[in-house]
């Protein structure tokens, strides 16, 4: 039988890791089961202000508006897909995997960049991947994996689009084209 004190300690450590990154109290409560009032107090202690309120966006597709944001979400999504542990139900977000993937994502971008994903946006990407509202797709042109979202305003590979916008040669085979595949 698992030790309840150890389980509580693990939940508190996970909560603090999520809160340090700025996760919303509701997300942390869902991930840990700890009381929202306690979590809100910890958020205030860590950040010197009250935690943000209000609902999270319904989907990743509704919050990602630029190719840079799409590329950032893709980087996180691919890292998360590689580092998550599937829950017993197969439809649960792995909170520890989310924190590991988010910290690796931050290390990969290494510094303040436009389009950096916050932990709450990363949670939404992970949620959409688990719910089947987003999938990891493969671009046949640049051979990168990226997030393809059902209700997104941006389709296709964000890396090819950013490369073409920067003056690179436009890809003859777009990732949003019918010959794109998901992996």
Structure tokens at 57: 């966006």
Distance of CA 165 to the CA centre of its chain: 25
Structure tokens at 172: 């003859």
pLDDT tops 90 at residue 115: no
Structure tokens at 115: 């389009």
pLDDT tops 90 at residue 101: yes
Dist. CA 155–CA 152, nearest whole Å: 7
- Stretch 70-92: mean pLDDT, rounded? 80
pLDDT at 22: 95
pLDDT tops 80 at residue 152: no
Sheet holding 134-138, edge to edge: 145-149, 134-138, 181-182
| pTM assigned to the model | 0.82
Dist. CA 154–CA 156, nearest whole Å: 7
Q: Cβ(155)–Cβ(137) under 8 Å?
A: no
Per-domain residue ranges for the chain? 4-47, 60-182
């Amino acid at each position: 039988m698992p030790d309840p004190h150890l389980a509580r300690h693990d939940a508190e450590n996970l909560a603090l890791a999520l809160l340090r990154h700025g996760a919303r109290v509701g997300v942390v409560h869902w991930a840990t089961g700890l009381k929202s009032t306690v979590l809100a107090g910890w958020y205030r202690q860590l950040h010197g202000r009250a935690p943000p309120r209000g609902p999270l966006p319904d989907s990743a597709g509704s919050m990602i508006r630029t190719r840079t944001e799409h590329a950032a979400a893709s980087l996180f999504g691919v890292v998360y897909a590689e580092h998550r542990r599937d829950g017993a139900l197969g439809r649960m977000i792995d909170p520890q995997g989310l924190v590991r993937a988010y910290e690796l994502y931050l290390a990969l971008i290494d510094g303040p960049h436009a389009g950096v994903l916050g932990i709450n946006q990363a949670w939404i990407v992970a949620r959409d991947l688990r719910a089947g509202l987003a999938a990891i797709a493969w671009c046949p042109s640049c051979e990168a994996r990226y997030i393809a979202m059902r209700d997104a305003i941006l389709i296709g590979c964000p890396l090819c689009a950013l490369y073409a916008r920067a003056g690179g040669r436009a890809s003859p085979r777009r990732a949003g084209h019918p010959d794109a595949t998901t992996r």
